[in-house]
Amino acid sequence: MSKFRHVDFRAPEYCADQSLRDAVYRLEGSTTSGWRITRGGEAHLELGPGYRLLRSRCCGVCSTDLDRHHLPFPLPQITGHELVAEDEAGGRHVVEINASHRARGLATDCAYCGVGLDHHCPDRLVLGIHDLPGGFGPWVLAPIASVIALPDSLPDESAVLIEPFAAALRGVDRIEPRAGDTIAVLGTRRLGQLMLAALSARRRATGGRWRIVGLSRHRGLRALALGLGADEALAPPAIDASTGGIADVVVDTTASPDGLVLATALAGREVHLKSTHGQPGGGLAYPTELVVDEISLVRITEADVAAGAADLTQLGSIRPNGRALVAWLSSAPPPRAWLERAELIVSTDACAVFDTLASRTHDLPAADVAVVDDARSVDAALRPRARTERSLVRPEGEIWIRPGTGAGAAASPLVAAIAGRGLRLSSSRCGSFHDALALLEHDAELRTALRRLITHRFPASALEEALRTARGPDCIKVLVEHPDAKG
């Protein structure tokens, strides 16, 4: 049990109108008994056991912090999740942000934590994003199994980038670059530069043979991209009738709805989506939810249907019986051959399928794959119930789009590209801090490169100025520091 029993502090909260307003907090409790959070003297949040009290040292600013008002979680909140913190003895740590049952060290029958999808646990809170006070305040409550000690050799300036760098590495691993590929990163600012660094570091570590291209409209960012590992840095072309695939894979890190449309036009084989701006994009209502759930969009042809889709076996490997669970939302009838390979729930009513899946108590209450006809059905599969942040497809599952009706470019250029030319959309969110730390410890070139990303530093008392600066064209990464924590 931590020797800290309670702390009182004042910290700025991010509000729905994007303003910052100070509030007085008290965190009271212990790791074993749980915690009570009061705000302005009123009960605010009751937490169970499995949280450890840490003092914030510094916290990076990312696009999610700037666009927090677009996300479907309660406000106001103390934000900030790219955190370096210290314990009562002064030991430094980074904190994985998802407070799942598993991360809190709890015995649980949670279907998600039980199959290794704990970072998608539906009961999780998320540090600095969903309810849990974040690192722009002086104190945080961190899930005990997510607190990772830092080596003395890694300074705060590098350690504060572990969370976004781990997310970038996760993206590289989800892409699975092939020998001879050209991989372009669109939007080479905060996350984009980290994607370039992750692609380059993974290439060095594995001896991979792929070409890395940075795409940015800003000359200075193109120069920085070359320093982070890009083989070439270019201005992205405009979309017109002659636009074709300039890379096998395009990674969209623009944090802009327009970025997904451009990435779709420029990619030959795959778009990998990292942006979580909370807005519609590419003709879909829920592109951010694709990223949060790490769901892929894939074309399924008549030949795939007839063959029974070999991917069903892989997708069903997470099930106790090994049989994939398929939500068949297409207007076409499902093939009889699939009945031998999978369990099918057939209906064009996504809400009805969602309710059927939700009633499952012995297994993951979500399908491994949904089969749909068009963009409207993609959205219905992603969020069938309004104001319910759950898909009818499980995290890391897939939505298969049948070519044909409703997939026209006017409705969704993304779905049209998937259905028409076989483009794949993949996505990723959080990554392994342990993998990121291991790579940083053994790659001196990577450590040197990442330090270049910190362009501005502010004390926590100047958070408003820090966020304003982070929006500016000359800023890459802002570091917000708590001077009193460094002892």
- Please answer whether residues 453 and 194 qualify as being in contact, where contact means their C-beta atoms are separated by less than 8 angstroms: yes
Task: Read off φ and ψ for residue 270, nearest 5 degrees.
Answer: -150, 140
Question: 336-354 b/e with 16+ CB inside 10 Å = b?
Answer: eebeebbbbbeeeebeebb
Residue 70 pLDDT: 85
- Extended strands (E) in 31-102: 34-39, 42-47, 51-60, 82-86, 92-95, 98-99
Task: Determine the Cα–Cα distance for residues 72 and 140; give it in Å rounded to an integer.
Answer: 22
The residue extents of the domains of the chain are 6-161+453-485, 166-427
For residues 74-98, average pLDDT: 95
pLDDT digits (tens, 9 = 90+) for 336-365: 878 778 899 999 999 999 999 998 877 899
Q: What is the DSSP letter of 8?
A: E
Supply the CATH classification number for the domain 166-427. Answer: 3.40.50.720
Closest CA to 11 of 68, 56, 61: 56
Task: Determine the Cα–Cα distance for residues 374 and 420; give it in Å rounded to an integer.
Answer: 12
- Please answer whether residues 99 and 143 qualify as being in contact, where contact means their C-beta atoms are separated by less than 8 angstroms: yes
Q: Within 13 A of 84's CA, how many CA atoms are on the CB side?
A: 25
Confidence at 192, pLDDT banded by 50, 70, 90:
very high
Give the global pTM: 0.90
- Please answer whether residues 94 and 8 qualify as being in contact, where contact means their C-beta atoms are separated by less than 8 angstroms: no
Residues 6+ apart with CB under 8 A from 111: 363, 364, 365
pLDDT digits (tens, 9 = 90+) for 410-453: 579 999 999 999 999 999 999 999 999 999 988 999 988 888 89
Task: Read off φ and ψ for residue 431, nearest 5 degrees.
Answer: -130, 180
CATH of range 6-161+453-485; options 3.40.50.920, 3.30.540.10, 3.90.180.10, 3.40.20.10: 3.90.180.10
Which helix or strand (DSSP H or E) is residue 147 part of?
strand 147-149
- Please answer whether residues 141 and 85 qualify as being in contact, where contact means their C-beta atoms are separated by less than 8 angstroms: no
Q: What is the DSSP letter of 339?
A: G
pLDDT digits (tens, 9 = 90+) for 96-140: 999 999 999 999 889 899 889 999 998 999 999 999 999 999 999
Q: Where are the alpha helices (DSSP H) in 341-455?
A: 350-358, 375-382, 413-421, 433-442, 444-451
Task: Determine the Cα–Cα distance for residues 334 and 385; give it in Å rounded to an integer.
Answer: 24
Mean pLDDT of the chain: 91
Task: Determine the Cα–Cα distance for residues 478 and 320; give it in Å rounded to an integer.
Answer: 46
pLDDT digits (tens, 9 = 90+) for 39-52: 999 999 999 999 99
For residues 352, 353, 359, 360, the Cα torsion angle rounded to the nearest 10 degrees is 170
Residue 404 pLDDT: 73
Residue 153 pLDDT: 87
Task: Determine the Cα–Cα distance for residues 400 and 58; give it in Å rounded to an integer.
Answer: 42
Cα dihedral sign for 340, 342, 343, 346?
negative
Residues in the chain: 487
Instruction: List, in sequence order, every residue forming a beta bridge with 371; answer none if it has no partner.
Output: 328, 400
Task: Read off φ and ψ for residue 350, nearest 5 degrees.
Answer: -60, -35
pLDDT digits (tens, 9 = 90+) for 379-409: 999 999 987 889 999 999 999 999 875 445 5
Q: What is the DSSP letter of 164?
A: H
Which helix or strand (DSSP H or E) is residue 257 part of?
helix 257-266
Compute CA 394 distance to the chain's CA centroid, rounded to the nearest angstrom: 15
Beta strand 267-273 with 247-252 is parallel
Task: Read off φ and ψ for residue 93, nearest 5 degrees.
Answer: -145, 155
Instruction: List, in sequence order, every residue forming a beta bridge with 147; answer none if it has no partner.
Output: 95
Q: At what angle do helices 190-206 and 162-175 cross, to 10 degrees?
A: 60
- Tokens representing 485? 């924590």
DSSP codes, 260-327: HHHHHHHEEEEEEE----SS-BTTBS-HHHHHHHT-EEEE--HHHHHHT-THHHHHGGGSTT-PEEEE
Residue 1 pLDDT: 42
Lowest-pLDDT range of 41-55, 63-77, 208-222: 63-77
Judged against a pLDDT cut of 70, whether residue 487 lies above it is answered with: no
pLDDT digits (tens, 9 = 90+) for 245-294: 799 999 999 988 899 999 999 999 999 999 888 889 999 999 999 999 99
| Distances, alpha carbon 311 to alpha carbons 118, 152, 316, 317, 420, in Å | 23, 45, 9, 10, 20
Query: Is it true that the peptide bond before 76 is cis, omega within 30 degrees of 0?
Result: yes
